[in-house]
Each structure stands twice: as structure tokens, then as C-alpha cells.
Amino acid sequence: MLPFKLWVDADALPKILREVILRASDRYQLEVTFVANQNVGITPSIRINSIQVMSGADAADQEIIDRMKPNDIVMTQDIPLAALVIEKGGIAIHPRGEVYTSANVKARLHLRDFMDSLRGAGVNTGGPPPISERDKREFSSSLDQTIQKQKRKTAL
């Protein structure tokens, strides 16, 4: 097994990405933990785990932050969680394949706060489009590159 893990913020996990994550676990012998406030329907195995947390705002996020270690990878759409992951020395990756950095996560937080204030004022800002096959490929490629990078980094 690798010296780092993949944590999946599974409350809003697009189902189309589950197979990508499970294949990556098999290919790299990577331990994966899905964390959600509901049963995500993942069959546990030697490398695949699932943690169901109590319902509540950000309960799954807090569980991930409490358990993750530096160099772990966290898949999330949640920008505040991504910022905390980076602060703790982890790698945060968006389901569409973008790897968050300390620079781009700050810009995303500002945009998120701005959109939140628009919604609070009654403006319909819409939502993101569903994950497409192209997004799935982007995520798969980005996840592979991130795992390879972490393998090299932790092998030192």
C-alpha cells in the first residue's frame, strides 16, 4: 500500500466518478475512504473504506480533516474543505480534475463568497452542469498525475 490515502468527500460525489476512484485504488494499491453523512453504498474491502458521520453541516468535512495526514489526497467540491486540506499539507482535487493550490483556492473562496451573497440577495445563480464524460476523463487524468506525484514525493 502507498504511504498516503485518498479521502473522498462523498456527500456530493457524482456517481460517474466512483468507478474511476475504485480503478485507481486497484491500479495503485491505494487506500480510499469515502466519508458522507449517508450510506454511500460502497462495499468495503482491504483498501476501500466508508465512514458514515452524523448529519450536520460540514460533519463529513471535519471527519476528513481530523483523520487525514500530510500528503493525503482529498477529492472534494467543497472549497473551504479544500483550503483546510492544503493548510494541513494535503492535496485537494475537484471532481472535474482541477487540483487546488494555495493560490487558486483563495480565488475560489472569494468567488464562492460572492456567489453566496448574490444568492442571499435572491439572485438565481444556477448551479454547475452535471459531470460529463469529458469531466470524467479530466478527473481520471488529474487523479493519476496527482497519485504519481505523491508516490515520487513520498518515496524520498
- Write the pLDDT tens digit of every residue in 122-131: 777 676 778 8
Q: Which whole number is the average pLDDT over 7-25?
A: 92
Closest C-alpha to 17, from 138, 129, 145, 119: 138
List the domains of the chain with CATH numbers.
Answer: 5-122+131-155 (3.40.50)
Which tops the pLDDT comparison, 13 or 119?
13
Q: What is the pTM of this model?
A: 0.87
CB 95 within 8 A of CB 135: yes
Q: Which whole number is the average pLDDT over 45-56?
A: 91
Local structure of residue 22 (DSSP, 8 states)? H
CB 94 within 8 A of CB 137: no
CA distance 34 to 109: 24
Q: Which whole number is the average pLDDT over 22-29?
A: 96
pLDDT by residue (tens digit) across 97-135? Answer: 999 998 877 767 666 666 677 677 777 767 677 889 999
Rounded mean pLDDT of the chain? 89
Closest C-alpha to 64, from 2, 136, 13: 13
Classified as helix, coil or strand, 128 is coil
pLDDT of residue 111: 62
